[in-house]
Amino acid sequence: MEESDTGLVLRVRRGDAAAANRLLERYLRPCRAVALAVTGSEADADDVCQDAFVSAIERIDDCREPARFGGWLLQIVRNRARNLLRRGEVRRTESLDEHTVADGPSPVLEVERQELRERLRGALATLSETQREVVLLHDLEGWRHGEIAERLELPVGTVRSHLHHARRRLREILGNLEAER
């Protein structure tokens, strides 16, 4: 059985590096998804999720309810990402090279993927920040409605509604773009 957030947080407070690593495995990807929802930039999301996670471990004693570590951590991510936006330091576009690896897909395939990413990014930009968080946490990270509700401090019904509208909007926009091609 997976160890609870509470157990892991208490172990981190006692200086247990393995527990911190377990939390990292559990939350770094969702942190990135939330950072991406706020900034719209993958490169910035990578930086923000790292900084926010490290900061959370530094301030672990401030996490008043260890059972709600996930929500507390995601709030740190959100704040950091918003600060980045406020300072106008977000990298709006990423060079193709950033995601091209030497033994990765062919340049043509990579161009297509980059194009798809741009279309998706444009479609996500039409959603509210919360809708983006919900759809990325659900459809990319595989979190269930209840998990999202708990960690975003929203009623489950609201999460379902956000997901429904976000998916519908994404399909409309991506469908229109497809028809225009």
Q: Using CA atoms, how far apart are residues 36 and 24, in angstroms rounded to an integer?
A: 17
Instruction: Identify residues 32-61 at the interface with another protein (CB under 8 A).
Output: 32-33, 36, 42, 46, 49-50, 53-54, 57-58
Could you give the angle at the alpha carbon of 52 between the alpha carbons of 48 and 53, nearest 5°? Answer: 120
Report the Cα–Cα distance between both ends of the chain, in Å, rounded: 49
- Choose the stretch contacting another protein; rule: CB under 8 A; options: 2-10, 64-72, 89-97, 109-117: 109-117
Token duo for residue 23: 């939390």
Q: Are 57 and 20 in contact (CB under 8 A)?
A: yes
Q: At what angle do helices 129-139 and 17-39 cross, to 10 degrees?
A: 130
Site string (57-96) toward another protein, x via CB under 8 A? xx--------------------------------------
**Shortest distance, position 50 Cβ to another protein, whole Å:** 5
8 A C-beta contact, residue 12 and residue 19:
yes
Can you tell me the distance from the alpha carbon of 38 to that of 105, in angstroms, rounded to the nearest whole number? 28
Least Cβ distance, residue 48 to another protein (angstroms): 11
**Member of 83, 89, 171, 177 binding another protein (CB under 8 A):** 171
* The binder of another protein chosen from 4, 21, 83, 93 (CB under 8 A): 21
Q: Give the whole-angstrom CA distance, residue 161 versus residue 157.
A: 6
Rounded least distance, CB 128 to another protein, Å: 16
Q: Which residues bind another protein (CB under 8 A)?
A: 12, 15-17, 20-21, 24, 28-29, 32-33, 36, 42, 46, 49-50, 53-54, 57-58, 99, 101, 104, 113, 116-117, 120, 123, 135-136, 138-140, 160-161, 163-164, 167-168, 170-171, 174
